[in-house]
Chains A and B, each alone.
Chain A
Amino acid sequence: MIIECRDLIKTYQADGRRMNAVDEASFVVQQGEFIFIHGHSGSGKTTLLSLIGGLTSPDTGQVLIDGRDNWQQSDNALSDLRNRTIGFIFQFASLIPALTVLENVLLPMSFGGVAAGARERATQLLVEVGLKEKMHSYPGQLSGGQQRRVAIARAFINKPAIILADEPTGDLDEETEQEIFELFKTFNREQRTTFLIVTHNQHLATTIPGSRVFTMRQGLLKEIQAG
């Protein structure tokens, strides 16, 4: 899966003033790459991820995933793309409170039509993020960090080719953060999963050889040479 962005512009109207949340972003990401995106709060990182994931439509420019333009597809095809190809880890709590942890993890899978072995896979993922005991709890009974880890398990359930992660370890301690990144690396190694990770932790990029780093500043995206 190759991700290609061409001259992406997304403008928001704020206080009667137009501002470019994402300003002419262009880049290509190859299958299996690790991408880190840094930037100040409000610089447009989340907006960029939602443009790539087909959650927000750009004002101009294109997002091509394996050569197919996100916004030239039908709504259903886009849903399918999000379901099978992309795993999302949101910046904020994104679990459905009415469902148990296990049901939340199963959500993308049970409706994709491939149910065989779904529970086993979900259970296995919950073990890997260290939440086996909380399987039948409801999100409201979990801490913020635990909820985040459930969302991480859910992102992997359909073995997506691309993971879009918005501050995936923002509320985790260093040790847990390390475990999660080990998990990411395993998926990357075994399934050549592509990662686009928004994080404030500049140090993380150095722990993954070959990763690329971008910074955002007022909507402008710039790649910096990994040292």
Chain B
Amino acid sequence: MTTPMLERQINFLDYTLSSLWRKRYKNIAVVLVFAAVIFLLASFQLVSNGLLERAQTALVMAPEILIQKMVAGRQESIPVAYAERLQGIFGIRQVTPRVWGYYFDEVTLANYTVIGRDQVAGGSDDQLTQVLADGRLPAAVGETVLGQAVFRTKGLQDQRVFSLFRPDLSLKTLTITGLFKKESNLLTDDLIVLSLADSRDLFGLPPGLASDLMVSVANPREIGTVAKKIAAALPGTRVLTRPQIEKTYHMIFGWRSGFASVCLLAALAAFFILSWDKASGLAPEERREIAILKILGWQTADVLLVRFFEGAVVSGGAYLLGCTAAYIHVVFFGSSLFLPVLAGWSVIRPDLHLVPAIHLADLLLLFCFTVMPYLAATVVPAWRCASLPSATALQGG
């Protein structure tokens, strides 16, 4: 009996499409408004995901105190020699220079995060070691450890040696000594870790310079005091503490919860569109149509199936349209609509480049908050109408 069943479904789909087509102007309007809401939400989501990942990377790498050199309000490379000026400050356990930056790979069109540091007891390597899948952190010049995405996009497979371009386009060859864990992809996916000397070489940075200085403190409770002393000892620098960075990180989380409320708002908006649509939709003509269909022998479930198809085409179409537009907006237009909101971020990362992270769970969440209510609001009134005796259609009306 599969063929008649299938034929039945096709007939229902056919009926749905032709009835959608007859009401096409209204349906297109609904799809557009709905897609716009989903577009805003999805853009927001993509951007905040990108930010969150950046923030997490920053946090995992974040030392207790970070010193950046500021010139004309912008961050510049900091001389490693600055560390000597801190020697007198009580409470500092260690000062280690770090280089970091972004490497744009012309071949794979991907942006990698590069971190250059040297192995020092009590340095950032402790954190990095925890997320290492195999091998060891680079100990000598010419060695590197990669994140999974770097390894994958470069197509390395069995190869242990690969090259990157220096700014003058000469090749720099590196040997892989390890990979980061898949589980830590969120943090390490696009990471390339090198020795300090190699990172300077790669970015064409003169010796004696670093991106920032990381300070570890003997007593975590003294972070604030030590930071103040550092700021006094090194005018022209910006001193960031881990609590400050965490605060920014929390701001992102706040933003995320803000996102949740926006989701709710969207659901409300969806309901609003709907009640407008359905209030006019389940008007006499539509009631009459359902009654006629039932009188002609359609089962209640058939009526609901058609309404479901209708709702699915409209809301599913809007969902796909909105999500695609959001992706294009973020990837190809650099989320230009949200730039004003993002501006505050330059405190931690001056050139914030967002690679949107697409999370199935988030897409699902968005789906639940937009498509599901729409479907429910399409099917439920039809169900109420279809399960009533249909005599009223006979009386005229």
Contacts and interface: CB of A to CB of B under 8 A. Distances in A.
A56 interface: yes
B324 to A, nearest CB: 29
- Which among B4, B292, B297 has the highest number of chain A CB atoms within 10 Å? B297
B293 A107 contact: yes
B11 A75 contact: no
B18 A111 contact: no
Interface string A35-58: 000000000001101100101110
Contacts of A55: 295, 389-391, 394
A95 B296 CA distance: 11
A171 to B, nearest CB: 13
Contacts, number: 88
A110 B296 CA distance: 11
A84 interface: yes
B396 interface: yes
B6 to A, nearest CB: 11
A98 B396 contact: no
B395 interface: yes
B396 A82 contact: no
A188 interface: no
A79 B19 CA distance: 22
B390 A92 contact: no
A50 B298 contact: no
Contact of A94 (B22, B23, B292): B292
A81 B387 CA distance: 16
B4 A113 contact: yes
A55 B23 CA distance: 28
Contacts of B302: 111
B18 A88 contact: no
Contact of A76 (B292, B296, B299): B299
Contacts of B293: 96, 107
A112 interface: yes
B393 A98 contact: no
Contacts of A168: none
Interface in A135-169: 154, 158, 166
B7 A113 contact: yes
Interface residues of A, number: 38
Interface string B251-282: 00000000000000000000000000000000
Given A75-B387, A97-B285, A113 B23 contact: no
Interface in A50-87: 50, 53, 55-57, 75-76, 79-84
A195 to B, nearest CB: 17
A145 to B, nearest CB: 17
B300 interface: yes
A103 interface: yes
Contacts of B23: 98
A108 interface: yes
B18 A103 contact: yes
A14 interface: no
Contacts of A99: 15, 18-19
A34 interface: no
A224 interface: no
Given A75-B299, A82-B296, A99-B18, A46 B387 contact: no
A166 B389 CA distance: 18
Contacts of A158: 297
B160 interface: no
A92 B396 contact: yes
B254 to A, nearest CB: 49
Given A75-B300, A97-B285, A113 B292 contact: no
A80 B7 CA distance: 18
A53 B300 contact: no
B54 interface: no
Contacts of A76: 299-301
Nearest to B306: A111
Given A95-B292, A112-B297, 8 more contacts: A56-B391, A76-B301, A79-B298, A90-B394, A91-B394, A98-B18, A111-B11, A111-B296
Interface of B: 4, 7-8, 11-12, 15, 18-19, 22-23, 285, 289, 292-302, 387, 389-391, 393-397
